[in-house]
Structure 1
Amino acid sequence: MTHTTALPQVLHFTDPGLREQIEAMPEGTALIGISTTGRAIAVDLDAESPHVLVCTATGGGSTTVLRSLTAQFLHQGAHALVLDLTQVSHLWAKDLPTVTHRGNIAGIHDALVHLADELKRRNQLPDHHLADAPRLIVAIDSANGTLHRLARYWETFRQHDDPTTSPAVTALEEALWTGRSVRVHVLLDGTPHTSVLGAAAHELFATVILARFTADTWQRLAPITGPAPKSSRHPGHAHVVQEGTAHPTQLLLMTDAEAADWLTATAAGKN
């Protein structure tokens, strides 16, 4: 019988032993949080979860999840493209040498168009060269608003013979469909709507993190897990859905300063 306990009240990066546990994780694996069984709930990008979907109401911790996961992969040697429409949610990443941070919509558009070129380049690499290419994390905060803004931005200068769909949105779709084979992974904060991402809906996210959700959101994003459980208002409490099972989880809290300091120390070889 599985022993179930209450979730931790909070899970800080600075908790005794936690940083060491995180740093001992295999490359491509990152801690999401701790479940009611005391189990470490993690995502393995090389297994069944090449991409992660985070869906929360305001204050549910989606920015924190993107920060903690992206920071862990960066610590392991990945590079990251951080798309931050608010321009203030991920300032921790702006000065890191292996991060491209974009906030205004023109910069986000151009970065995703460049991502399409990078996907094409990686697809042409021999396997032994691809294995040496750094893992690339595409972290998209406020994805719903970002994608709709990208669509409107494209309409402002699209010519009559240009494609109807924004090439930036098309690049993101391609990353979701083909990224796994070329070590490109999407961490997306939002709800993937077929009106924007076409067929690339939640089926492509084998790890879904839900907090402060409605019953309707649960049924759309975690339909095979059964009826929606009670949603908690406690900061950091979430449900992580993997392989058809929902794990009540206390999310890892890593502040801006902790992420920046940790990664700066990593780059300096001080870890």
Structure 2
Amino acid sequence: MKKTALPKMLSFAAPDLREQIEALPEGTALIGISTDGRAIAVDLDVEAPHVLVCTASGGGSTTILRSLTAQFLHQGAHALVLDPKRISHLWARSLPTVTHRGNIAGIHDALVGLADELKRRLDLNGDLEDVPRLIVAIDEAHATLRQLARYWETFRQEGDPKTSPAITALEDALWAGRAARVHVIFDGRPHSTVLGPEVREQFATVILARFAADTWRRLAPVAGPAPKQSSHPGRFHVVQHDGAHETQAVLMTDTDVVNWLTDPTANQS
């Protein structure tokens, strides 16, 4: 397929882009535009219950988490945003359908609460038509999981499980998320020493930037040899069932997201 030049930036404020995003069906979010001019999207119901984002520092993973989460929120989803730096997702603090947690104690408690919510949803036996989709967006997930493991060790009592219940809840959400309409957007490599070794299989969409060759081999083995990387802001490789696509991702700023999601005139899906 003919390769074309990607735009230098794909801003949410660009002409017609907002309309294109708002026209997407529920459960689908636009990642960006590929070199063959295709719209590259994630469909949480058809092919990808969860999304994995893995970049080096400064690679734009926070931008991807913000853009995808905002699109699902616009469609009526709720979100749990875990922000260990406490400042990466300030947009999330002002929205009524978003729970934002930053310190490790708050993240632990939120994930333990997620276990209860997951059970409640599964007990409905598929009768989820009136239950909003729940997006769990985890920034810097690998470091966060290590912190959760250490946090649990500080007060674990005899007879308590060895593994942090917060980590167990996240793993359960990854395995049962499709049935419960709970979807994880995970920023970082899902290391097998923290999560189960098969958890990588739960991510049908993998978004990579500024990756090492070893990272590509581990996370995108079906896509062949690692492609040439770009340091251009917002440039990613999106790996899905049909291969890898070099993609310029949609840029939504904090202001874009808050204004869009609090605009009373915006069309809801």
Counterpart in 2 of 1:250? Answer: 248
Q: Distance in 1 between matches of 2:34 and 2:48?
A: 18
Separation in structure 2 between the aligned mates of residue 224 and residue 71 of structure 1, nearest angstrom: 29
Cα distance per residue 1:173-212 (max 9 Å; x no partner): 0000001111000000000000000234321100000001
Unmatched tracts of structure 2, length 5 or more = none
Q: Determine the structure 2 residue equivalent to 1:63.
A: 62
Query: How many angstroms does 1:225 deviate by?
Result: 1.0
Residues 176, 200 of structure 1: 8 Å contact kept:
no
Report the TM-score, using the length of structure 1 for normalisation.
Answer: 0.97
How far off its partner does 1:3 sit? 2.2
Runs of 4+ in 1 over 4 A off after TM superposition: none
Of residues 173, 176, 185, the one that matches 1:175 is 173
Alpha-carbon RMSD: 1.0
Instruction: For 1:68-83, list aligned pairs within 5 A.
Output: 68-83=67-82
The one-letter amino acid paired with 1:22 is: I
- Which string of whole-angstrom CA distances, capped at 9 and with x for unpartnered residues, describes residues 36-75 of structure 1? 0110000000011010000001111100000000000000
Aligned to 2:39: 40
2:217 equivalent in structure 1 = 219
Q: Which residue of structure 2 aligns with residue 237 of structure 1? A: 235
Tell me how far apart the structure 1 counterparts of residues 65 and 7 of structure 2 sit (CA, whole Å). Answer: 20
Mean Cα deviation higher: 243-252 or 65-74? 243-252
CA distance in 1, matches of 2:242, 2:265: 40
Letter in 2 for 1:181: A
**Displacement after TM superposition at 1:7 (Å):** 1.5
Matched, 1:25 2:24: yes
Measured after TM superposition, the shift of residue 155 of structure 1 is 0.2
Give the structure 1 partner of residue 144 of structure 2: 146
What is the CA–CA distance in structure 2 between the aligned matches of 1:124 and 1:223, rounded to whole Å? Answer: 36
Structure 1 residue 132 displacement after superposition:
1.1
Shift of 1:24: 0.1
The separation in 2 between residues aligned to 1:87 and 1:138, in whole angstroms, is 16
Listed as ranges, the matches of 1:119-198 within 5 Å are 119-128=118-127, 130-198=128-196
Secondary structure (helix, strand or coil) at the match of 1:127 reads: coil
Deviation of 1:244 (Å): 4.8
Question: d(CA) in 1 for partners of 2:2 and 2:244?
Answer: 16
Residue aligned with 1:107, SS = helix
Q: Tell me the residue number matched to 2:13.
A: 14
Conserved in 2, the CA contact under 8 Å of 1:212 and 1:232?
Answer: yes
Q: Tell me by how many angstroms 1:105 deviates.
A: 0.4
TM-score (norm 2): 0.97
SS in 1 for 2:82: strand
The equivalent residue for 1:87 is: 86
Aligned to 1:111: 110
CA shift for structure 1 position 127:
3.2
CA distance in 2, matches of 1:229, 1:127: 41
How big is each residue's C-alpha offset from its partner over 1:140-194, in whole Å with a ceiling of 9 and x where there is no partner?
A: 0010111000000000000011000000000000000001111000000000000
Task: Indicate if the aligned counterparts of 1:177 and 1:200 stay in contact, CA closer than 8 A.
Answer: no
Quick one: which amino acid aligns to residue 173 of structure 1? E
User: Residue type of the partner of 1:23?
Assistant: E
Summarize the alignment of residues 251-270 of structure 1 with structure 2, pairs less than 5 Å apart: 251-265=249-263, 268-270=264-266
8 Å Cα contact 2:126/2:179 also seen in 1: no
1:16-44 residue CA offsets vs partner (Å, 9 max, x unmatched): 00000000000000000000011000000
SS for the counterpart of 2:79 is strand
**Deviation (angstroms), 1:249:** 0.3
Q: Is the 8 A contact 2:91 2:255 kept in 1?
A: yes
